[in-house]
Amino acid sequence: GQASSAGFKVDHSPKEGSIMQTTNGPYGHVAYVERVNGDGSILISEMNYTNGPYNSDYRTIPASEVSLYAYIH
């Protein structure tokens, strides 16, 4: 809600360079959309998710799950 209030577009359609956001987990989570693939999946980069605190990694979100997240543009 704060991103939208600040004038950013927020929707459920990822674009390269947008921020993926979810409220899942105790604090929520954000990630950077590196690429939208031809099959509708997305490649994201993130920190503190699969490799523990202060570690970054990449992950592919399947096309079937992409619309479950909000994207800040």
Q: pLDDT tens digit string along 18-43?
A: 999 999 878 899 999 999 999 999 99
Confidence at residue 33, expressed as pLDDT on a 0 to 100 scale: 98
Confidence at residue 46, expressed as pLDDT on a 0 to 100 scale: 95
Q: Is the pLDDT of residue 6 over 90?
A: yes
Mean pLDDT of the chain: 94
* DSSP 3-state of 3: helix
Band of pLDDT at residue 8, cut at 50, 70 and 90: very high
The residues, any chain, with a CB within 8 Å of residue 36's CB and separated by 6 or more, are 14, 15, 16, 42
* Torsion, CA 65, CA 68, CA 70, CA 73, rounded to 10: 40
CA–CA gap between residue 1 and residue 55 (Å, rounded): 27
- Single pTM value for the model: 0.91
